[in-house]
A = this chain, B = another copy of it.
Amino acid sequence: MVTLADVARHAGVSASTVSYVLSGKRSISGPTRERIQHSIDTLGYRPHAGARALASSRTDILALMMPLRTGLYVPVMMEIAMAVTTTARTHGYDVLLLTGEEGPEAVRRVEGSAVADAMIVMDVGLDDPRIPCLQAAQRPAVLIGLPAETAEAADSTGLDCVDLDFEAAGARCVDHLAALGHTRVAVLGEPPAVYERGTGFAARTLTGLRAAAAAHGVGLLHRPVDGTYAAVAAAVTRVFEERPGTTALVVQNEAAVEPLLALLRHQGRAVPEDVSVVAICPDQVAVHASVPLTAVSVPAQEMGRRAVERLVERLAGQAPRGTELIAPRLTARASTGPAAPALPTEDRHGRDGR
């Protein structure tokens, strides 16, 4: 193994000089720096991560706590994880992947054993047992998601948060539909488990949806659904029975998107002529759906990237702690159109829905 001492010897300088050309923490004369750089290259030197961590008490590692609980849409998690690792690398950090199963213990381990310089925590619930540990920890942490139902409450926890502004996202959906003349809207939400767990984003979306509905005089129905065909079918059927005049749907449940479109097609309800659909989902899902969906995109990449950037800022100097909400962006595609009266019943079956 090539050590810093080897490089120093090869270049005819002291170890500290080599260390300083690597860190750039003091000025080195041109010739010396070149000679050293040359030695580094020819010897193929790489600093030993452990030794560096011990001497500098920095690991250049970020921990990513990613629980995979029921009802979560895996591809979004993955997209965030990838954005995190990619962004981390551009800042010279590696990413340690921790599953949620270890819970608070993982937080203590990272802290106590100095395994990572900072942590990113995903899927935080209201009464998440990791939160106290995080607050007690010396290392910076940023949550992806809010541990509370409002941004103000989140700020009061003293934690650092990054998330989509789901409240505004919900409002944008209703705004869009109201502008098209829809007055009766149904919401197909996340699976019940997600709401029960107290994961803030679902509740915040609902708040935004309801506020906008009230403002526009729109009637709103909300049904949590599991992402299966059967569950979607049951919910949608019930919605149209209870409110036959429903002309628009908002879906916040990636797994339910395709089942929903298949069902509407099967029922002979054309999208968007008979019913408009707005989704809250990643752009990729919206674009590749069997009907390109008007949607507020969940900016998974941006969330992962921002989380890392904030952590890097905090590690560098005194970045302010607080909650950062990403403004929602609604893109109109083929799934929404002007409100139309409900179809006559006899025309509703056996139609070609494509």
Contacts and interface: CB of A to CB of B under 8 A. Distances in A.
Contacts of A262: 258, 262, 265, 290
Contacts of A109: 46
A316 interface: no
A50 B61 contact: no
B96 A97 contact: yes
Interface in A87-129: 89, 94-99, 101-102, 108-109, 112-115
A68 interface: yes
A185 interface: no
Given A50-B114, A114-B48, A99 B82 contact: yes
A59 interface: yes
Interface stretch (A14-22, A71-79, A332-340): A71-79
A81 interface: yes
A234 interface: no
A99 B115 contact: no
Interface string A33-51: 0000000000011111111
A96 B95 CA distance: 6
Contacts of A112: 44-46
Contact of A86 (B74, B89, B99): B99
A228 interface: yes
Contacts of A353: 266
A350 interface: yes
Contacts of A195: none
A266 B113 CA distance: 58
Nearest to A95: B97
Interface string A262-293: 10011000000000000000000000101000
A247 interface: no
Contact of A50 (B54, B82, B94, B350): B54
Contacts of A86: 99, 101
A257 to B, nearest CB: 10
Contacts of A265: 262, 266
A124 to B, nearest CB: 19
A301 interface: no
A259 interface: yes
Contact of A48 (B102, B113, B228, B290): B113
Contact of A85 (B82, B99, B266): B99
A159 interface: no
Nearest to A289: B229
B54 A51 contact: yes
A309 to B, nearest CB: 17
A295 interface: no
9 contacts: A1-B114, A68-B78, A74-B78, A89-B102, A94-B98, A95-B96, A97-B97, A229-B290, A265-B266
Given A49-B50, A49-B59, 11 more contacts: A44-B112, A45-B112, A47-B113, A48-B54, A86-B99, A86-B101, A89-B99, A94-B98, A228-B288, A258-B258, A258-B259
Which 10 residue pairs spanning A and B have beta carbons closest together? A50-B53, A46-B112, A50-B54, A97-B97, A229-B290, A49-B113, A350-B350, A262-B262, A74-B75, A46-B113
